[in-house]
Amino acid sequence: MLQKVSGFIQSHNLCQPDSKILAAVSGGIDSMVLCEVLHQLKYTFAIAHCNFGLRAEEAEADQVFVKKLAKKYNVPFFSENFNTSAFAEQEKVSTQMAARTLRYQWFEQVRQQEGYDYVATAHHSNDTTETILLHLTKGTGIAGLHGIPPKNGHIIRPLLSVTKDEIYDLVTSQQLVWREDSSNETTKYQRNKIRHEVIPVLKEINPSLEETMQQTAERVSHAEAIVKSYIEQLRGQSLKEGDNVAFLLLTPLQNATGLPVVLHELLRPYNFSYSVVLELVQALDGQPGKQFHSPTHTLVKDRDQLVITPKDLSSFGSILLQQGDTTVEAGNYLFTLRYVDADQYKLRTKPHIAALDAGQLNFPLKLRTWQEGDWFVPLGMNGKKKISDFLIDKKVPANLKGQTLVLVSDQSIAWVVGQRLDNRFKVTDKTQQVVEITVQRKPE
């Protein structure tokens, strides 16, 4: 299998031997094999893990497991917690689409900030089959029929040539351990329904279904390249990008063949669905000012152009507090940090002030909204308490609960912001340095 993957990487020019790779690792069997393959092929890589806040304690255990995996391979570890449900509700998209949007946005952010060349995901040939069938079922254009591309910008899929059976073979031979996501077995999700109920029937007709689908995807990719050439020509004539804004000029598109398809392809990097593009086409002759939305961008129809701006997704992830920071903005709040020697510090006990033992903190700290399954040890107690129960006991109004922030050191909550400090991080007579953090609302 290693030879097969190595050959696939070379033939599709996915990366170079000296490339730095950020591996997306959930802890499941596929991503565990991805790590082992990158390790055995001697690539320089790091591990990035997402906690989507959807499976409470199970997700927390996944995060701990993947962090230990990074120690095993002696590679850097990056993690992020997302308020996926809130994002899905706001954007009126499925939980799966919300998770996909948030994780790829974060992967790219980490890749750029930490200096990695590519983000590697653990998609394999069975995923290609599932993706094509799912797209066909829900309706798709030519791009939806090529399945999962081996390379898409900075995203690479080194395992795309191997089957699930080959992945199991490697796990067995290397005696790898993985975490099983319980949601993979339920048919509540569309992809799982296709995996468990549709594909077995199709394989009765064609036992080589995965191989056939892969060949079909490659043929479609060649046809797509012809269309792409036409689209890129129009893109060069019509798209002008600036800082945090893009302008799509409408004049060069007036005589375009198949305008809805053309617009959909031009707007694909901004994640606009085909149904939204059809609404946009209907509105092109109307009054300027009408807005259209994707999960990541807002589009405004101007007189002779479309104006596209990105949405701020940071409130659904976390904000980092680096050691040495003195002020950090988080939404409507301003956090001020002071670093004081313990013998010079006078303790201030107010809800909006946290006095933390610097020796117990692991920077960078994270600020994020609390999630189901989060727990801490309230100041003055020895036992842990779920944040949800704590907020109920504090009689925090329901519409304010979702806005409650927590300060996280490594995987431990150090402060329920504005509410209670964690007992493990309090200042004691052994404390040498105090980090005092004050929160206040930003002036209007």
Annotated binding site for ATP: 26-31
- φ, ψ for residue 144 (rounded to 5)? -75, -10
For residue 304, the 8-state DSSP code is S
Are residues 272 and 297 in contact, defined by beta-carbon separation less than 8 angstroms?
Answer: yes
Half-sphere exposure of 260 (CA within 13 A, CB side): 13
Phi/psi at 299 (nearest 5 deg)?
Answer: -120, 130
Binding residues: 26-31
The type of residue at 45 is F
Task: Give the pair of three-digit tokens for residue 245.
Answer: 């804004």
Annotate the chain with three-state secondary structure: CHHHHHHHHHHCCCCCCCCEEEEECCCCHHHHHHHHHHHHCCCEEEEEEEECCCCHHHHHHHHHHHHHHHHHHCCCEEEEECCHHHHHHHHCCCHHHHHHHHHHHHHHHHHHHHCCCEEECCCCHHHHHHHHHHHHHHCCCHHHHCCCCCEECCEECCCCCCCHHHHHHHHHHHCCCCCCCHHHCCCCCHHHHHHHHHHHHHHHHCCCHHHHHHHHHHHHHHHHHHHHHHHHHHHHHHEEEECCEEEEECHHHCCCCCHHHHHHHHHHHHCCCHHHHHHHHHHCCCCCCCEEECCCEEEEECCCEEEEEECCCHHHCEEEECCCCCEEEECCEEEEEEEEEHHHCCCCCCCCEEEEEHHHCCCCEEEEECCCCCEECECCCCCCEEHHHHHHHCCCCHHHHCCCEEEEECCEEEEECCCEEEHHHCCCCCCCEEEEEEEEECCC
Rounded distance between C-alpha atoms, residue 268 and residue 383, angstroms: 50
